[in-house]
Amino acid sequence: MKKYRVCRHRQAGVGLIEVLVAVLVLSIGFLGVAALQARALSTNNSAMARSMGTIASYSIIDAMRADLSHAKAGNYNVTVTGDACPTATTTLANAQVAQWCNQLVKTFGKVASTSGIVNCSGAGDCKITIQFDDSRSGKGGDAKQTIVTQAML
């Protein structure tokens, strides 16, 4: 009686196609992580700009509180733009508005889209409006980001 040997081929390692599929899956995952990181950086930059705008609005409010009689008289009611900051420093109000405008320029850029508006009533109710270009923040950014702060002196 003859015995026949059954020849079985056993795989002893990982095939080339399996390695290529694994590399493809990892590459797609790494591209997703890179896109997520880029989006997070632009959103973080936009959030920082809004925070700096809030700080700038409180800066001029604190300056007006230090010069309360002139603030209630309307000496701080002004509109400034980043490309044309006032240079007159004859009064404390003028000097503080010029300094505030320069702060806006350093934060948001020396362009016409950077602006700050101070509007106070005689009773001391003030509304500070800051506008700047936030279009570089990506998909959610707006070319005209506006921050409005209302305070009582």
Whether residue 151 has pLDDT greater than 70: yes
Average pLDDT over residues 2-21: 73
Q: What mean pLDDT is reported for the chain? A: 88
Reduced to 3 states (helix: H, G, I; strand: E, B; else coil), residue 32 is helix
Average pLDDT over residues 95-114: 93
pLDDT bin (cut points 50, 70, 90) of residue 11 is: low
Sign of the torsion angle spanned by Cα atoms 46, 149, 129, 81:
negative
How confident is the model over 114-150, as pLDDT tens digits? 999 999 988 889 999 999 988 776 665 667 889 999 9
Pure H helices in the chain:
16-66, 68-72, 92-108
- pTM summary value: 0.76
Distance between CA 95 and CA 91 in Å, rounded?
Answer: 6
What's residue 71's pLDDT?
85
pLDDT bin (cut points 50, 70, 90) of residue 37 is: very high
